[in-house]
Structure 1
Amino acid sequence: MPARILVVEDDPDQRNDLAAVVASFGYQVTTARDGREALTALAGLPASAILTDLVMPRMDGIALLKELAARGDRTPTIVLTGFGSIDQAISVVHDLKAFWFLEKPLQPGVVRTLLERAIQQNRLVKETERLHSQLSYHGVLGDLVADSACMKEVFSLIRQVAPTTASVLISGESGTGKELVARAIHALSARSAGPFVPVNCAALPESLMESELFGHEKGAFTGAVERRAGCFEQAQNGTLLLDEIGDMPIGTQAKLLRVIEESKVRRLGGTADIPIAVRVLAATNRSPEQAVQSKLLREDLYYRLNVFHISLPPLRDRKQDIPSIAAALLRDLNRKHGCRVTHLSPEVVDWFAHRSWPGNVRELRNQVERAVIMAAEGEIQLQHIPGAMRAPAPPPTVDPPERDGMLQVAVGARLAEVERAFIRLTLKHTNNNKTRAAELLGLCLRTLHNKLRAYESVKVRSAGASQNGFD
């Protein structure tokens, strides 16, 4: 099917002539008289590329590009400019991320070449989006890795909100990966080519907070020996992450709210407002509602930031993700330390599964990194994990009874026992078809195999303990 090109031009003769030239290249052509008609046309049927004049009534080319960016529409746009407006066209290409510009009168050969390149870029963007979506369904999104249903729901929320301009509040315990979520949102947004600036509000002294956020002029306070741009200016046309927003002083929160609502920032000691185009994400390890009730977070700022909320579960509630996370960590840590570690032993996987992980993924990374250094190559064993050899083996477990395809679970049964019994019952239901069982359980096949190996290792250790008189 031929690519579809949208031609936006207010002059009817030039619009018809340009449409005829584009159609002669074998493309489908849709025309619009101005930016508003162009947006209506795009809502009905997306285009592979856009050719738009700059100067038009109602909505001109610049306003059209700004609206496309606000909607997260990455359709490559070629700007048409008349004599004397080359500087403006170059500025539009640079500031508004237009694909390129063409000076009137147009040369058909140049138009054709630019359209071919624009269409190719559009295909690459679409393919990248498709691969991101496909990977997320298989448990990978940016630097995030997971197999659990709760994290796949988080991936879905990220895919939904990333293309928009909405503020996002990310909550979760320390170490759950809030900054990784923020980076994934930035990477999947229309601002991905711009900077990503994270600011840890808890790590900044109160006396430097406003200077760090808003910047300062020379001489604004003692020690301000030169002008300095704040984080909002550094994040221009990109994304700013305000981590641990609940630790920001209340007075600074009021100024922050004004900056977000007015899209303008004034440096300390300055007299002029500086326009900003920044998407603001915020993160907290506290319950946002409790932070508001405790007067640690302004209620009006909370509602301004909480346009879209993503809550991250702790690692103890998604232990089925540990093998996948560990495998991803191994690849990263092998490169970092020049090691050749291949995998975790089943005993290590089982030991990890019985920990509560108060430090979440950050604690897991710490454990795996030390083990990688200790092992250097091959398999990571219990001897490479600090404290694992001294820890007593998990007590023998008895699976809950099953009857008529159902489990009977008594109050007080360990979650690991219930999970193991449920997996075995599902395998029995599928006649040991592991692929089908993984689908029913909502697990990837690799995770199911890891769990089964861990169960066998527990059985072997329990049998060994019995033979040696420890039962």
Structure 2
Amino acid sequence: MSSEKVLIVEDEVHARSGLTELIESWGYRAECAADGIEGLERAVEWAPAIVVTDLKMPRMDGMELLNRISELPQRIAVVMLTAQGSIESAVEAMRMGAYDYIPKPVDPVRLRTILHNASRQREADVELEATRRQLRDTGVLGPLVGSSPQMKDIFNMIERVAPSNVSVLVTGESGTGKELVARALHDLSSRRLKPFVAVNCAAIPETLIESEIFGHEKGAFTGALERRAGCFELAEEGTLLLDEIGEMPAGTQAKLLRVLEDRKLRRLGSKVETAVDVRVVAATNKDPEQAVASGELRGDLYYRLNVFNIHMPPLRDHLIDVSAIAEKMIDDMNERHHCTVAGLKDSLMTRMEEYKWPGNVRELRNTIERAVILAGTGMLGVEHLPPHFGEPGFAPAPTRSSRAMGESEAGEASSEMQRYLEDKNTVRVEVGTTVDEAERQLILKTLVSTHNNKTKAAEILGISSKTLQNKLKEYQSASTVVTE
């Protein structure tokens, strides 16, 4: 049941009273007016959420009423009632901004559905405007937080670009919040009620990535036991984030470019093309121009995706935002872990603002999560930080979704491994250790047990050799960034 206000504007007495009674029976607050002039007066005074108006009326018809309502400061959804011979006029009204139309005699089921949808759309519009106001007033955009000049510039760019359908390329180091930018673009767009689908191109085996993105037909390849929609179709009318776009195989990049240009895709094994309406946001932690120069990223795809570029700065470049980001994370962690932490002590805040955060916001999140779980309540202090936090040589444990920022192999970093490996056949995990740190210890210890035989280690761990190589690059990269 809804308590939204609905104004019925209808010059025929019985139709007016019947519609008012019907709409009230659905839980709406309904009032009525006999023509457009009276309807406009009631709209100004009563501020309804929805106006249901006849098209043909004396003194002021529905088209003029629609035009006048559109000039009012409040947002009002207008639904047109049309006679059978006035459908063309109703379509014209839609072009002028009417929410919908319904022919006479009115079908109650259809009218109720239209009112329900209009009410939901209004709620979404109110929420969107509140988000934009929050952005302007406090420097918060959903999960993105920051009052530094860098973050304010990013927020302004997101707000300008979000209403369009153009592709956006989000760049920045691993852990800077690129996916959050994509979600903000989606939430501030007209697609916000449709799906948001995120795909990590680096996490999908090369043999499966085309199927995951474009879908496949039954029998398209061994193991294709049924028809499957790809990520493009799953994100229909919504937003698709292609994370780590530079890791996508060259052949798949070529097919992606064609989909972006033609707005059509062909599932693997299909002979027909399917139209798609999807906004694409791509993200990479690499320098895209260097990736193009090295052949990792197609130049034509880069230029097609890079209509707008939003670069997320590393956290060390806007340490002024650490406090606000940490406070937001504490709220999230309190809810997730049923804790009641009140905030951060000044001594802890000083330590955190002096640290360079090589893992960026993702590392900050891991640190806050660990601290909240350890404290449980009260204020977070220095004693809740990981051992040796910020000291020379301290290397944070990278998270599961971190990506390499360097090219050297971690498999050669035996000293890095040995810090975790006192016992050859046992992994000891203390309470408070993150899942990602436990995974890190398991991988490194397995490598020691196989005398650094990566193929054998990957087999024991049940992961692909490529995944293992990526993990090792992450660990070496984190260590290199700290020591440099």
The alpha-carbon distance between structure 1 residues 229 and 381, as it changes in their structure 2 partners (threshold 3 A), is same
Q: CA deviation at 1:257?
A: 0.9
- Percent of aligned positions with the same letter in both sequences? 47
Tell me if 1:78 matches 2:100. Answer: yes
Aligned to 1:321: 321
The alpha-carbon distance between structure 1 residues 309 and 119, as it changes in their structure 2 partners (threshold 3 A), is same
* Secondary structure in structure 1 of the residue aligned to 2:147: coil
Q: List runs of 5+ in structure 2 lacking aligned partners.
A: 1-5, 10-32, 45-52, 57-62, 393-484
Aligned to 1:247: 247
Q: CA deviation at 1:120?
A: 6.5
1-structure distance, mates of 2:246, 2:153? 25
2-structure distance, mates of 1:287, 1:59? 53
Aligned to 1:212: 212
Aligned to 1:130: 129
- Equivalent pair of 2:77/2:98 in contact (CA under 8 Å): yes
Aligned to 1:91: none
Aligned to 2:265: 265
Cα displacement string for residues 213-244 of structure 1 (whole angstroms, at most 9, x for unaligned residues): 11111111111111111001111111100001
Aligned to 1:441: none
The one-letter code sitting in structure 2 at the alignment partner of 1:361 is V
Tell me if 1:192 matches 2:188. Answer: no
Tell me if 1:141 matches 2:141. Answer: yes
The alpha-carbon distance between structure 1 residues 364 and 30, as it changes in their structure 2 partners (threshold 3 A), is farther
Count matched residues: 344
Aligned to 1:333: 333
Cα displacement string for residues 49-107 of structure 1 (whole angstroms, at most 9, x for unaligned residues): 3446799899984x997x89xxxxxx661223xxxxxxxxxxxxxxxxxxxxxx32459
1-structure distance, mates of 2:370, 2:358? 18
* Secondary structure in structure 1 of the residue aligned to 2:208: helix
The alpha-carbon distance between structure 1 residues 115 and 48, as it changes in their structure 2 partners (threshold 3 A), is farther
Q: CA deviation at 1:159?
A: 1.0
Aligned to 1:48: 76
* Secondary structure in structure 2 of the residue aligned to 1:207: coil
Compute the TM-score of the two structures, normalised by the length of structure 2. 0.62
2-structure distance, mates of 1:170, 1:127? 28
Q: CA deviation at 1:171?
A: 0.8
Cα displacement string for residues 373-419 of structure 1 (whole angstroms, at most 9, x for unaligned residues): 21121121212111347948xxxxxxxxxxxxxxxxxxxxxxxxxxx
Q: CA deviation at 1:322?
A: 0.6
Aligned to 1:162: 162
The alpha-carbon distance between structure 1 residues 334 and 104, as it changes in their structure 2 partners (threshold 3 A), is same
1-structure distance, mates of 2:118, 2:389? 59
The one-letter code sitting in structure 1 at the alignment partner of 2:336 is K
2-structure distance, mates of 1:297, 1:386? 38
2-structure distance, mates of 1:368, 1:156? 28
The alpha-carbon distance between structure 1 residues 76 and 348, as it changes in their structure 2 partners (threshold 3 A), is farther
The alpha-carbon distance between structure 1 residues 124 and 219, as it changes in their structure 2 partners (threshold 3 A), is closer
The one-letter code sitting in structure 2 at the alignment partner of 1:48 is I
Aligned to 1:350: 350
Aligned to 1:302: 302
Compute the TM-score of the two structures, normalised by the length of structure 1. 0.64
- Equivalent pair of 2:90/2:101 in contact (CA under 8 Å): no
Aligned to 1:426: none
- Equivalent pair of 1:4/1:48 in contact (CA under 8 Å): no
2-structure distance, mates of 1:241, 1:352? 31
Aligned to 2:424: none
Q: List runs of 5+ in structure 1 lacking aligned partners.
A: 7-18, 69-74, 81-102, 393-471
Cα displacement string for residues 326-364 of structure 1 (whole angstroms, at most 9, x for unaligned residues): 111111111222222111111111111111111100000
Tell me if 1:179 matches 2:162. Answer: no
1-structure distance, mates of 2:332, 2:197? 23
Aligned to 2:150: 150
Q: CA deviation at 1:145?
A: 1.2
The alpha-carbon distance between structure 1 residues 369 and 107, as it changes in their structure 2 partners (threshold 3 A), is closer
| RMSD of aligned residue pairs (Cα, Å) | 3.9
- Between 1:381-390 and 1:266-275, the stretch displaced more is 381-390
- Equivalent pair of 1:348/1:381 in contact (CA under 8 Å): yes
The alpha-carbon distance between structure 1 residues 245 and 4, as it changes in their structure 2 partners (threshold 3 A), is farther
The one-letter code sitting in structure 2 at the alignment partner of 1:227 is R
The one-letter code sitting in structure 1 at the alignment partner of 2:262 is E
The alpha-carbon distance between structure 1 residues 270 and 118, as it changes in their structure 2 partners (threshold 3 A), is closer
Cα displacement string for residues 283-315 of structure 1 (whole angstroms, at most 9, x for unaligned residues): 111122222222221121112111111111110
Cα displacement string for residues 236-292 of structure 1 (whole angstroms, at most 9, x for unaligned residues): 111100001111111111100111111111110011111111111111111222222
* Secondary structure in structure 1 of the residue aligned to 2:198: strand
* Secondary structure in structure 2 of the residue aligned to 1:282: strand
Aligned to 1:88: none
- Equivalent pair of 1:4/1:49 in contact (CA under 8 Å): no
Aligned to 1:383: 383
Aligned to 1:281: 281
The alpha-carbon distance between structure 1 residues 346 and 27, as it changes in their structure 2 partners (threshold 3 A), is closer
* Secondary structure in structure 2 of the residue aligned to 1:170: strand
* Secondary structure in structure 2 of the residue aligned to 1:206: coil
The one-letter code sitting in structure 2 at the alignment partner of 1:133 is R
The alpha-carbon distance between structure 1 residues 353 and 217, as it changes in their structure 2 partners (threshold 3 A), is same
1-structure distance, mates of 2:352, 2:129? 34
- Equivalent pair of 2:99/2:118 in contact (CA under 8 Å): no
The one-letter code sitting in structure 2 at the alignment partner of 1:128 is E
Aligned to 1:202: 202
The alpha-carbon distance between structure 1 residues 176 and 5, as it changes in their structure 2 partners (threshold 3 A), is farther
Tell me if 1:367 matches 2:367. Answer: yes
- Equivalent pair of 1:146/1:325 in contact (CA under 8 Å): yes
- Between 1:261-270 and 1:125-134, the stretch displaced more is 125-134
Aligned to 1:454: none
The alpha-carbon distance between structure 1 residues 272 and 320, as it changes in their structure 2 partners (threshold 3 A), is same
2-structure distance, mates of 1:209, 1:367? 33
The alpha-carbon distance between structure 1 residues 166 and 56, as it changes in their structure 2 partners (threshold 3 A), is farther
Aligned to 1:451: none
- Equivalent pair of 2:146/2:324 in contact (CA under 8 Å): yes
1-structure distance, mates of 2:244, 2:230? 18
